[in-house]
Structure 1
Amino acid sequence: MRSMNTSLTTTSERLEANKAKLRVEVPEASLKPALDAAYRRWSNEIRVPGFRKGKVPRQLIDQRVGPEAIREEALRDALPDLYVSALESEELEAIAPPEIEVVSFESGVPIVFEATVDLRPEVVLPEYSGITVEAPSSELRDEDLKDQLDRLRDRFAELETIGRAARKGDFVVIDLKGYRGEELVEGVSAPDLLHEIGSGQGPPKLDDEVEGSKPGDIMKFTDTVGEGTGEPAGSGATSDGPQETMEVSFTVLVKEVKAKKLPELDDEFAANVGEFETLDELKDDLRQRLGEYQRQVAEQQVRNLVLERFVEAAELKAPERLVDDEVKHRMEHVEQDLASAGMTLEQYAEQTGSTELEVRSEVREQAAQSVKAELLLEEVVRRADIKVDDEDLGREIAYLSAQTNTEPGELTKELASSGRLRGLVADIMRRKALDYVVEQVNVVGLEPQTETIDDSAEDDESHEQQQEQGEN
């Protein structure tokens, strides 16, 4: 295919279904704006006696820098816009940065460059009517209410000293001392430490050592801990990588054993929990809040299931270039998270009973599904003519500003200056596209939303889940 506009001539050749090679011929005169800008920059940067800043003649710049170096700099600056113009001339839509090769760049003749371009694949949306999703139950069970009441009782429990031996879930007041040789190690020692048995806090062997103990008991043991922390080896990391470990000899003196005393479930407990006159009022409030929360969870699960079925139903192969980029992005996050936990990818794979190759393969599969989902939702945006208006963007920025404790105006400026505002708009579009898909497919068993008390925490959690889904 051959196209021409006022400044360039283009031809394109399909290499594969979703890849093309562009050949672009540009008149040398089209480089003049970029060439002028390059000379202006150098005129402001170099110092020549007798000439003010910005007034250095081109001849002197050529002597200092070299005319070919200036031309090459101008071409580097001009290529992005020339490439975009060539795409528009050929009516091609790229999905990744191109591989550009300059074929001809001699003075006095047209500039010629070639660009190998990954193209957006043709996306055919599956039939909405052929997708059926069964919504999980959002019914509140008696066990759910009981569990919530038990958690409230545990939160308001008091500790009382007991005479029996310590059990898992009890608390002990101990003097913990760690030694290396004769020297007391700071950071792993603490007097009058209140420790919950089974919490996994402190030296790894501590829970086993104090379980079954009584006041006055003294235990001695050697353990491996993170250097300077007293936490289990591998529970943290330094800026340079996995945390260093050390062997420490511990002495533990048990001073008291305490157990939780749970409050009775009565009207007095309800009054302590909140502004409730009776236990029945507390239960009614919990039922309403838990019911609304479970309905939101069910709706989010439906969204996840719909997106999964939508991707499965589409006959679409994720472009390798996009998958490679997504894998790189995800693996960077995985390795950063593991480093924060003091682990390497190899250690994580061993701990989970897999191999590094299996971990990377799983990440690649997830990345491919994510790329397919993104392409499908972007096509839904086009077909359904979905827009993001000022209200949508304002609501999103208000949410993010509340999460980051930043003024909405400042956050908007920061997003715009960093180039992230466009990405935020794209995320909102994809979420609205998924809303549209959920409305079109067959969802069985989803209870309609009912009016409930306002609960901003629940609204924020639902919004956060949808944000993560839009990113994934």
Structure 2
Amino acid sequence: MPTTITESGPFERLVNLHISEEEIDAGKSSAARRLSQELKLKGFRPGKAPTPVVEAAVGKARLRQETIEDLINPTLNKILTDEDIRPAVSPVLEDIDDVDGGVDVSVRVTLWPEIETPKYKDRKIEIESPEVTDGELDEQVKRMLEQFATVEEVDRPAGEGDFVSVDVSASKDGESVEEATASDLLYEVGSEMFIEGIDEHLLGKSAGDTVTFEGALPAGFGERAGEQVTFEITVQEVKERILPDFDDEWVEENTEYETVAELTEELKGRLADAKLQAVSRQFGDRVMSTLRDQLQVELPEALVRAEMDNHLHRFVHRLEENELTLDDYFQASGVDRNAFVEDLREQATLSIQNQLIFEAVAQAEGLEVTEEDMSNTLSNLAARYDDPAGFIRAFQESGQELALASDILRNRAMDVILQSATPVDENGEPVDLKLTIESEQEQVVEGEIVEAEPVEGEIVEAEAEEEE
């Protein structure tokens, strides 16, 4: 049958193609070589067994099926290239029918949505001031001094920032919750830690006072986390935090500086750098937010789910680096699984919208990635490693060249977007951020080889089932 492409939805096309029996016969030798790499055939090295030997080992039906599957991808990719169709996710194999003279194949392809290029030029974006205030500097000094503070028992009600020594017990339906019982627990009032709502019950309480309230067991209680219980807390002591005197003598004894003035200047410089970077990120985030607000496009569900899988894969990879599982994360954090999935969806949606914006801007600006760009970027990444050549080999074998090119183009588009906008303060006055600005997007490859995402045009046998 002739190749046909029909619209099966707003973002979907059904591609019907034919692979002839002659093409199947011609492709058997290639499929046989691939299979012989996997099989242990007596008398032959891997990949060297003749086609008849492989066919005898696996059977005619399997060799034919393997050959057909090998032929689908290049046949489909040629059709998609000729028709200028770019899949958003891996195409899904719908059906294979044996017919006279070969097989008919149906493949469902999800497309990238098309958008109008958002207005990204000459925009004024309000941001917070990057200037360090006296209050921020004082707070930094206070946090530093708190690391050297002592505590003294006081005879007065507990206030914000005081420490209280407490005995804690919990019960549910009259039964004691033993794992939530503790004695002489030192707690900082106002720290908003341990038990949600505990601070409001401890503020103003004195030694000997007992408070009782309903609350949820915190995240550290595993499967019981979030369970509603009755807490009873008795204040044994109230202790005040005593900060050391911030003078030249203290500075010289406890830091590498000699005077308050020197240390204060150093702290102010560090604060200024940190705040400048934070405000720069804020600028990038707000610029992208204003552009996303201009989008009026529905996203294909298959694309959203694929991006959710990518985000989940990266998150699980980070957990595994710390020898943790996803279940460990849920138990330790107390995060609801449904809320976690919804957050993944929000992240995926934002990432896709950003990608659409970057591609639209790149096209509008005529941005391109050359072989020289790829080589220079890869060399710069490899230079961070003890074995640069090994890094480059591993990267090339991982099949991430397209991902790298996409990242380079994305970052260039982001540069254009940021350079086309002006950061201003609350009075509308321009703010000089001085730094190279990073958006909420991840940076190019961040020095790590990761598993490659599915290559566009790659056939999968069936759609993944949705989680229950």
* Shared fold per TM-score greater than 0.5: yes
Alignment pair present for 1:162 and 2:144: no
SS of the residue aligned with 2:109?
A: strand
Name the counterpart of 2:431: 447
Q: Pick from 256, 260, 264 the counterpart of residue 279 of structure 1.
A: 260
Question: 2:367: which partner in 1?
Answer: 385
Report deviation, 1:326: 3.6
Deviation readout 1:358-411 (Å, 9 max, x if unpaired)? x95x87566444322211202333444243545544556778x8xxxx987776
- Count of residues in correspondence between the two structures: 423
Contact 2:382–2:392 (CA<8 Å) still a contact in 1?
A: yes
TM-score (norm 1): 0.68
> Does residue 308 of structure 1 match 2:301?
no
- TM-score normalised by structure 2 residue count: 0.68
* 1:99 paired residue among 78, 92, 98: 92
1:125 to 106, 117, 120: 117
Partner of 1:136: 128
The letter of the residue matching 2:442 is Q
* 1:140 to partner: Cα distance: 2.5
Q: Quote the offset at 1:426 in angstroms.
A: 3.2
Does 1:35 pair with 2:16? Answer: no
The answer as to whether partners of 1:317 and 1:372 remain within 8 angstroms in 2 is: no
Provide the secondary structure at the position in 2 that maps to 1:467. Answer: coil
Q: 2:108 aligns with which of 112, 116, 120?
A: 116
Shift of 1:101: 3.8
The match for 2:442 is: 467
Q: How does 1:207-286 map to 2 (within 5 A)?
A: 212-214=205-207, 233-236=217-220, 254=236, 258-272=239-253, 274-286=255-267
- Looking at structure 1, the residues matched to 230 and 390 of structure 2 have their Cα atoms a distance apart, in angstroms, of 50
Per the alignment, residue 279 of structure 2 pairs with 298
Partner of 2:17: 24
Larger displacement relative to structure 2 (423-432 or 170-179): 170-179
Are the structure 2 counterparts of residues 384 and 440 from structure 1 closer, same or farther at C-alpha, using a change threshold of 3 Å?
farther
**CA deviation digits over 1:203-231, x for unaligned, max 9?**
779875798454xx69798999xxxxxxx
**Per-residue displacement from partner, 1:57-90 (whole Å, max 9, x unpaired)?**
8667656643122211222233222221221232
Q: Tell me the amino acid that sits aligned with residue 447 of structure 1.
A: V
For the structure 1 residues 381 and 237, does the alpha-carbon distance in structure 2 shift closer, same or farther, using more than 3 Å as the test?
Answer: farther
Percent identity, aligned pairs only? Answer: 23
Residue aligning to 1:456 = none
Q: d(CA) in 2 for partners of 1:204 and 1:424?
A: 44
Once the two structures are TM-superposed, the CA of residue 436 in structure 1 deviates from its matched residue by 1.3
Equivalence for 1:229: none
CA distance in 2, matches of 1:297, 1:63: 66
Q: How does 1:417-432 map onto structure 2 within 5 Å?
A: 419=399, 422-423=402-403, 426-432=406-412
Where 1:105 maps in the other structure, the secondary structure is strand
TM-aligned CA deviation for residue 262 of structure 1: 1.0
Deviates more, 1:61-70 or 1:144-153: 61-70
Q: For residues 32 and 446 of structure 1, do their structure 2 counterparts lie closer, same or farther at Cα, with a shift above 3 Å needed?
A: farther
The secondary structure found in structure 2 opposite 1:35 is helix
Q: 1:305 to 1:344 in 2, by over 3 A?
A: closer
Give the AA of the match of 2:432: P
- Residue matched to 1:67: 60
8 Å CA contact 1:377, 1:434 repeated in 2: yes
Of stretches 95-104 and 301-310 in structure 1, the one that deviates more from structure 2 is 95-104
Q: Which residue of 1 aligns with 2:452?
A: none
**Cα distance in 2 for residues equivalent to 1:442 and 1:204:** 42
Q: How many angstroms apart in 1 are the aligned matches of 2:126 and 2:226? A: 50
State the AA in 2 paired with 1:259: E
Structure 2: unaligned runs, 5 residues or longer: 317-325, 447-468
User: Are the counterparts in 2 of residues 35 and 70 from structure 1 also a CA contact under 8 Å?
Assistant: yes
Distance, in Å, in 1 between the alignment partners of 2:179 and 2:295 is 60
Secondary structure in 1 aligned to 2:128? coil
Distance 1:91 1:426, change over 3 A: closer
Could you tell me whether the CA contact under 8 Å between 2:168 and 2:180 is conserved in 1? no
Deviations 1:128-180 (A, max 9, x none): 436432343223322222222222222332x1433424624333567889999
Letter paired with 1:436: V
Structure 2 equivalent of residue 454 of structure 1 = none
CA 1:272–1:79 in structure 2 vs 1: closer, same or farther (change >3 Å)? Answer: farther
Counterparts of 1:117 and 1:26 in 2: how far apart (Å)?
Answer: 18
Distance 1:264 1:154 in 2: 11
1: CA distance, partners of 2:54 / 2:443 = 52
**Root mean square deviation, CA, Å:** 5.1
Q: Of the candidates 438, 442, 446, which is equivalent to residue 418 of structure 2?
A: 438
What's the counterpart of residue 79 of structure 1? 72
Going from structure 1 to structure 2, the CA distance change for 1:242 and 1:36 (only over 3 Å counts) comes to farther
Q: How does 1:299-338 map to 2 (within 5 A)?
A: 299-314=280-295, 316-326=297-307, 338=330
